[in-house]
């Protein structure tokens, strides 16, 4: 771990694929990035969601796959090799109304930053039932990403369960039919909230069976999942079903609470990037990358791609006079004269 300086050129908040890729690019551009990796919690640890994943087979460059934790450690070491500095602390408060931007960490640090890249990711929503967290963290057949893990050999020709009733659950179930013997959709109500076309597509698939009015109360299995204990939401009757994998598809919560409304967010709480194919946010000089701004793809490789973009956007904003044009030499916002437009620095 490294000590943060009073003022940094680039501060990166988050240490998943987006954060470390941004750090690699920023460090190679001699911007001396500083990364707040995070302090860790029950469901999020430094390194992001891949730290809870075993085999990663869809990240380019690893023909035989790579363990999720190993991939993140390699990214981290690559960033540090080029001079990135980091600390295992969260950013708990920001002030983007002043320039340079002010950030406060969980360890009591205050740092000023010329640019900030927010790459804090999104936290998968879990059921919170016995056995789930243990088997998810140990690679025991519980996952929140069917596209990431569904093709693994451990899930092939098994009965797989998907919990959820929205479009994501339908998409996950349909995807898993490529590999599973049967896919069970477990839903707490008697109708889906998914779009009509997605629901009809799932219901019509010969490999998909729906267990209506059911909730999971326990995930069964020691080293690997063997089944689920269910409860009927209408009758209260309990039952068990044998499965070889569980995919939780009840949504994600973007890690944006610490921003306290200082960046524009969409209805789901993801950071809005108003310029297509750019990572600029509603505050010039603040950029967003990875799952915290992506509620659609949510893949390690796309997160890494936006991390690259954010670092390049930050570098160009600094090099092209973004700070001076936007905030002036005193740090006060520049007000455009009549008939002119203030630069957005993008």
Q: Note if 308 is an active site residue.
A: no
Select which of 90, 114, 149, 172 is catalytic: 149
Using CB atoms within 10 A of its CB, is residue 7 exposed (0-12), middle (13-18) or buried (19+)? exposed
Select which of 90, 95, 114, 148 is catalytic: 148
Determine the 3-state secondary structure of 277 from DSSP. coil
Per-residue HEC secondary structure of 114-175 comes to EEEEECCCEEECCCCCCCHHHHHHCCCCEECCHHHHCCCHHHCCCEEEEECCCHHHHHHHHH
Give the separation between CA 110 and CA 169, rounded to whole angstroms. 42
Local structure of residue 271 (DSSP, 8 states): B
Q: Note if 222 is an active site residue.
A: no
Angle of helix 300-319 versus helix 17-28 axis, rounded to 10: 40
The answer to whether 293 and 279 are in contact (CB under 8 A) is yes
Give the separation between CA 60 and CA 65, rounded to whole angstroms. 9
Token couple for 203: 């219901």
CA–centroid distance for 101 within its chain:
24
Select which of 114, 145, 172, 313 is catalytic: 145
Beta bridge mates, 111: 103
Determine the 3-state secondary structure of 189 from DSSP. coil
* Extended beta strands in the chain, E state: 7-13, 34-36, 55-56, 66-67, 85-87, 91-95, 101-105, 110-118, 122-124, 142-143, 159-163, 182-186, 208-211, 214-220, 227-232, 238-242, 245-248, 252-254, 286-288
Alpha carbon of 297 to those of 12, 64, 75: distances in Å?
Answer: 21, 23, 20
Known catalytic residues are 145, 148-149
């Amino acid at each position: 771990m490294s000590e943060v300086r009073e003022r940094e050129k680039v501060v990166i908040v988050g240490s998943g694929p987006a954060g470390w890729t941004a750090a690699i690019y920023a460090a190679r551009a001699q911007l001396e990035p500083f990364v707040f990796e995070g302090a860790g919690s029950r469901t999020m640890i430094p390194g992001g969601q891949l730290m809870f994943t075993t085999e990663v087979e869809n990240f380019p460059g690893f023909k035989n796959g790579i363990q999720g934790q190993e991939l993140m450690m390699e990214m981290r070491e690559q960033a540090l090799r080029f001079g990135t500095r980091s600390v295992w602390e969260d950013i708990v408060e920001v002030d983007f109304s002043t320039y340079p931007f002010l950030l406060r960490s969980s360890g009591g640090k205050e740092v000023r930053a010329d640019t900030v890249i927010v790459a804090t990711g999104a936290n998968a929503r879990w059921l919170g039932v016995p056995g789930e967290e243990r088997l998810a963290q140990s690679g025991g057949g519980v996952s929140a990403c069917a596209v990431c893990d569904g093709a693994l050999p451990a899930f092939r020709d098994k009965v797989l369960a998907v919990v959820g009733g929205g479009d994501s659950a339908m998409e996950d179930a349909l995807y898993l039919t490529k590999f599973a013997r049967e896919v069970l959709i477990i839903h707490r109500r008697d109708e889906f909230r998914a779009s009509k076309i997605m629901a009809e597509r799932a219901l019509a698939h010969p490999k998909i069976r729906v267990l209506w009015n059911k909730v999971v109360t326990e995930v069964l299995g020691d080293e690997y999942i063997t089944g689920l204990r269910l409860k009927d939401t209408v009758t209260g009757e309990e039952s068990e079903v044998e499965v070889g994998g569980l995919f939780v598809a009840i949504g994600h919560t973007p890690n944006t609470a610490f921003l306290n409304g200082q960046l524009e967010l969409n209805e789901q709480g993801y950071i809005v990037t108003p310029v297509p194919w750019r990572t600029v946010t509603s505050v010039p000089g603040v950029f967003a990358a990875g799952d915290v701004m992506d509620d659609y793809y949510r893949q390690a490789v796309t997160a890494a791609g936006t991390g690259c973009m954010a670092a390049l956007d930050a570098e160009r904003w600094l090099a092209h006079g973004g700070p001076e044009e936007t905030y002036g030499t005193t740090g006060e916002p520049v007000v455009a004269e009549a008939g002119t437009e203030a630069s957005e620095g993008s």
